Amino acid sequence: MEKAGATFLFCIIFNLTLFAQTVQSPISVHGSLKVQNGLIVDKNGLAPQLRGISFSWSLWQGRKYYNPAVVDWLASDFKVSIIRASMGVQPDHGYLQEPALQTQLIVNVVDEAIKNGIYVLIDWHDHHSNEHLAQSKAFFAQMAKKYAGVPNVIYEVWNEPEKISWDTVKNYAVQVITEIRKYDPDNLIVVGSPHWDQDVDIAAADPIAGFKNIAYSFHFYASDPNHQEKLRARADEAIKKGLPLIVTEWGVGESNGNGKFDRDLVKTWFQWMEDNKLSSANWNITDKAETTALLVPGACDNGGWTVEQLSPAGIYIREKLRELNK
């Protein structure tokens, strides 16, 4: 009887611990996201300021990290509240060539994010999405049917349009949004802007109308000489005009993935995000020998990374996330 009683007590304590963890998860705190008065807000009407990490392209070195164990580690050790699954589209072995495989990689990550109670961006990682409208609509229709009403899921319909007009980006976005809204009427949708998600001021002058819960992505690389005061001013103008922004990609180095990791410049950008209560995902989970890669070459495929397996960027981002995502 004593043994049975002890087992019963252990089960109660264990289940209460699990309940406490569930209560504390980002999704339990914030619930469904929506756009209200030019801001992304949570179920309480407050800006949630989610902070997390973007997976790299689901190609090359980055592909091996698209597994549930990595998602679990990012949630438990890095304390992310949001991740971004960046599905490669146009390069070899991307969605255009291997749609079933690429879709499964994304589903693996999204499903595990849901289990962990964190948010997840489904990112159509394509610089020329207007050339692949039919494929994009088919993919997002599939995702919207599968995840309709699941509050963790955010759709990002075009990663970094290149030097393409806002009219082209907007027309594409409207068509994809229309497709998503056939199946998922409410979940947040994120739209890109010209010049690698930097011309948010142009989007703010002529935003998409007729749909609810539409936000816009803004990207920067903190140490890039071209991504300083003038770029922040563009974002500030968009915010002033009431354009809801989310930083779906930013890096500590330069836009080519390399360059200097300037901690003073990173601090300035980080504080700017904090001041504006912007949610963000840092680029990126891969083990390339690059400044913005969070892992050193050869870091294991399934999370559990030691400090020695983290790059300087990885050590910095982990510390910031653990400090702020308490």
Both ends of the chain: CA-CA distance in Å?
A: 40
Q: Which of 179, 249, 254, 290 is catalytic?
A: 249
Closest listed residue to residue 109, CA positions, set 76, 81, 69: 69
Token code pair at residue 279: 């949610």
Q: Which of 160, 179, 254, 290 is catalytic?
A: 160
Token code pair at residue 292: 């913005």
- Per the annotation, the verdict on 229 as an active-site residue is no
Closest listed residue to residue 116, CA positions, set 155, 74, 55: 74
What's the sign of the alpha-carbon dihedral 59, 61, 63, 66?
negative
- Per the annotation, the verdict on 162 as an active-site residue is no
Q: Which residues are catalytic?
A: 160, 249
